[in-house]
């Protein structure tokens, strides 16, 4: 199997600040590790690369002039020819992201994904080219709004991003270089104060994260969700683990995460990969599943269920 190649993917429209950010990154001495970098440029704006200023020495720049060149055959050939340790991609803002994913060689693994927007044109782009804006935000890890000047309403930008995805960090960058992280708090996608906290299939990742960050705030609450069972010698008798496969960033980091559930014998002969809907009271106590104290769900109702439409959940 070929060695993994880390991919750093930079998204955004023409003249949104992608080239400047990549240039500054490659000028950073901390990035020089002796490895080979393949720089794929899928669009060229007014800003040009200045390779003579790169601190990262072994950089090969390849320009893809059209979307027709973005094929798995072409990218595999470039990988074979240049044998990069990492690939830095300045992606074309008018190309859909799925085309890149479809063309990625098997050895390529997304390590980082950032999206850049010019604050002065973003809201207009969102109004008139919503599909492309959605495409560049839905899977990214960070959205950078740059070139702010004077006063502006952060909430206008925040709402657009959060209407697409709750996952990415948001950064506001002013002319002059000052930058601020978005600190607007978003409500959870479920009501933690309801008599029964019902977790929709797509919201399990948020529930798992929030429970992990403040488990004691859930003690005594009743929760209901669908999950996939896990049973092993490490799980004590009378208990199962019930959870979901969660994707934080990309396919490479998918992991199964769940909670210890005391079944109270409500469903017999539960096997790993069985799908169940549980209604349970939440306690916080020692369980060997965690090898320490943790949230333990005491089942009040447990029933078999069909798998959800999407078996892997994300922080959408």
Q: Report d(CA 48, CA 184) in Å as an integer.
A: 35
Supply the pLDDT for residue 107: 94
Residue range 197-314, CATH number: 2.40.50.140
Give 115-147 pLDDT, tens digit per residue.
Answer: 999 999 999 999 999 999 999 998 899 999 999
Show Cβ contacts of residue 254 under 8 Å, excluding neighbours closer than 6 positions: 245, 246, 247, 312
Supply the pLDDT for residue 36: 96
Domain ranges (residues) in the chain:
5-181, 197-314
For residues 315 and 212, the model is more confident at 212
Over range 44-66, report the average pLDDT. 94
The pLDDT mean for the chain works out to 94
Supply the pLDDT for residue 213: 87
Exposed e or buried b per residue across 30-61, where buried means at least 16 C-beta atoms within 10 angstroms of its C-beta: eeeeeebbbbbbbbeeeeebeeeebebeebee
For residues 212 and 253, the model is more confident at 212
Give 2-36 pLDDT, tens digit per residue.
Answer: 789 999 999 999 989 999 999 999 999 998 999 99
Supply the pLDDT for residue 248: 73
Supply the pLDDT for residue 186: 87
Q: Length of the chain, please?
A: 316
Kindly list the distances between the CA atom of residue 88 and the CA atoms of 107, 153, 260, in Å, as whole numbers in the listed order. 15, 32, 41
Give the residue from 172, 110, 124 showing the smallest Cα distance to 147: 172
Supply the pLDDT for residue 167: 84
| pLDDT tops 80 at residue 1 | no
197 half-sphere exposure, CB direction, 13 A CA radius: 24
231 and 205 Cβ atoms separated by less than 8 Å? no
Instruction: Give residue 250's pLDDT band: very low, low, confident or very high (50, 70, 90).
Output: low
Give the residue from 48, 43, 49 showing the smallest Cα distance to 14: 43
Q: Report d(CA 109, CA 2) in Å as an integer.
A: 12
| pLDDT tops 90 at residue 253 | no
Q: Report d(CA 207, CA 17) in Å as an integer.
A: 35
Give 217-243 pLDDT, tens digit per residue.
Answer: 999 999 999 999 999 998 999 999 999
Give 279-310 pLDDT, tens digit per residue.
Answer: 999 999 999 999 999 999 999 999 999 999 99
Residue indicated by tokens 């809201």 = 123
**How many other C-beta atoms are found inside a 10 Å radius of the C-beta of residue 276?**
21
Over range 187-205, report the average pLDDT. 96
Percent of all residues in the chain with a pLDDT value above 90, rounded to a whole number: 84
144 and 116 Cβ atoms separated by less than 8 Å? yes
Q: Report d(CA 152, CA 171) in Å as an integer.
A: 14
Q: Report d(CA 41, CA 18) in Å as an integer.
A: 10
Percent of all residues in the chain with a pLDDT value above 70, rounded to a whole number: 99
| pLDDT tops 70 at residue 269 | yes
SS3 19: helix
Residue range 5-181, CATH number: 3.40.50.300
pTM assigned to the model: 0.70
228, containing H or E segment: strand 222-230
């Amino acid at each position: 199997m070929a060695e993994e190649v880390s991919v750093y993917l930079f998204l955004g429209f023409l003249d949104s600040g992608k080239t400047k950010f990549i240039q500054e990154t490659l000028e950073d001495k901390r990035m020089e590790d002796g490895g080979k970098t393949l720089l794929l440029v899928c669009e060229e704006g007014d800003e040009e690369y200045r390779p003579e200023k790169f601190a990262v020495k072994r950089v090969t720049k390849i320009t893809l002039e059209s979307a027709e060149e973005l094929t798995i055959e072409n990218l595999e050939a470039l990988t074979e020819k240049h044998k990069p340790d990492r690939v830095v991609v300045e992606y074309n803002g008018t190309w859909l992201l799925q085309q890149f994913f479809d063309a990625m060689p098997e050895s390529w693994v997304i390590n980082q994904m950032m999206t850049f927007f010019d604050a002065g044109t973003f809201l207009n782009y969102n109004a008139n080219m919503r599909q492309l804006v959605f495409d560049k935000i839905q899977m990214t890890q960070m959205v950078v709004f740059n070139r702010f000047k004077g006063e502006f309403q952060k909430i206008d930008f925040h709402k657009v991003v959060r209407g697409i995805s709750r996952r990415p960090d948001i950064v506001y960058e002013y002319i002059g270089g000052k930058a601020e992280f978005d600190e607007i708090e978003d409500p959870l996608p479920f009501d933690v104060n309801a008599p029964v906290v019902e977790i929709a299939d797509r919201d399990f990742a948020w529930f798992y994260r929030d429970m992990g960050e403040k488990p004691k705030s859930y003690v005594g609450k009743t929760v209901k969700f669908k999950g996939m069972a896990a049973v092993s010698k490490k799980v004590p008798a009378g208990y199962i683990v019930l959870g979901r496969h969660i994707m934080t960033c990309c396919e490479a980091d998918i992991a199964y995460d769940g909670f210890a559930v005391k079944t109270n014998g409500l469903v017999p002969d539960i096997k790993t990969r069985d799908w169940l809907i549980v209604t349970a009271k939440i306690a916080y106590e020692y369980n060997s599943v965690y090898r320490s104290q943790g949230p333990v769900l005491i089942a009040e109702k447990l029933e078999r269920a069909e798998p959800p439409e999407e078996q892997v959940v994300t922080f959408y």
